[in-house]
Amino acid sequence: MTCNHNSPQLNLSLSDKCCTASTGCEFDGTLRKVKAEPIYVQKVYDAALFNLQGLKTIAGQEFEPNLGRNARILRILDIRCKKFFNPLDINDERNLIVKPTTTISGADFVEDGCGNALEVTGPDGTQSEKILYTNTKDCDNEWKGTPIFGTQTIEITGNVVVEIDVLFTDKCDKECTVTLSANVPISRNQAPLLLTNFFELCMPSVFDTAFLPRFTEFCNINCETRLGTNSITRDIIVDPSNGNVSANLIIALCITCEKKIVVPVQLCVLSTGFPNLSAETDPICSTFPQLFPNQIDRKPHCRCTQETEVAEVNEEQN
């Protein structure tokens, strides 16, 4: 809580709280060090992006801290919303979670013989991909993909954190600012907030491939909030006896979901080589081991090529 006075405000916050990363990848603008490299990755054959939104109305939500006796809110300076996450307990039911469930028509998820869809490991390191199968022969003959259709149900559970910066007067009529906060429940696992979405994707051949196509989806969520009727007098109640604050809110849940059909492939890409990071320690050892093996596809340079590279380096230095 901060009140107006003549002395300068002091705080213990860090002057520089952010940082800039170093990837170790550099490109000097020339193609001299660029070469073709084969990489084994997952290629996206089709993708669809969807933006969904849900609303939650909250009545009489209590905020902390209390403002003291006879306090009166003059103005709302800012109001913010962020999703709640407890890093000490991934299973905390208050963690705001988006759980998509998808059914497919026009194709089938490959099963394990016990009625369970077969899931394989995706780029995120978890079993987040399901294998698809359908007869794609007709569209293969036309060099096109086979359309499949899906219905997605999104379950939202957990809490959001709402913060309100307010300007108020205390019992001595002194103007102060404070940040009110509340951990607001959206829904629980027993009664999740549900959203429904429909989509179409284009599936590549299941015959002309060493790997069957895979379906994957992922979502992210954030939130926005405002007072129920955008009125301080109607939506915010301050108890004059103890300064407890409660408010009526409208919370918008904003969801972005992406669905992809991917297949493991080998691609040729242009590369400048491995990342080159500089060690940040004062070394005692004279040499250190490398992290990646040397290239084994290098061809010996002819004399003219070597002379050209040396000339380019000298020209850059001059």
Closest by Cα among 314, 312, 318, 317 to 30: 312
Closest by Cα among 262, 254, 252, 237 to 55: 252
| Phi-psi sector, 203: left (phi>0), alpha (psi -120 to 50), beta | beta
DSSP string, 17-32: -------S----SSST
Cβ atoms within 10 Å of 107's Cβ, excluding its own: 22
pLDDT range class, residue 41, cuts 50, 70, 90? very high
pLDDT score, position 301 = 55
The token duo for 101 is 């469930």
Condensed to tens digits (0 to 9), the pLDDT of residues 186-236 reads: 999 999 999 999 999 999 999 999 999 999 999 999 999 999 999 999 999
Strand positions, DSSP E, 64-113: 72-83, 97-105, 108-109
Model pTM score: 0.79
More confident site: 230 or 173: 230
Domains of the chain by residue range = 43-273
Residues 268 and 39: their CA atoms lie apart, in Å, by 6
Three-state SS across 172-192? CCCEEEEEEEEEEEEEECCEC
pLDDT score, position 6 = 46
CB within 8 A of 6, min separation 6: which ones? Answer: none
Residues 203 and 215: their CA atoms lie apart, in Å, by 9
pLDDT range class, residue 274, cuts 50, 70, 90? confident
Condensed to tens digits (0 to 9), the pLDDT of residues 74-129 reads: 999 999 999 999 999 999 999 999 999 999 999 999 999 999 999 999 988 999 99
Cα angle 8, 14, 20; round to 5: 140
pLDDT score, position 206 = 95
Query: Residue written as tokens 């404070």?
Result: 178
Residues 130 and 122: their CA atoms lie apart, in Å, by 9
Asked if omega into 65 is within 30° of 0 (cis), the reply is yes
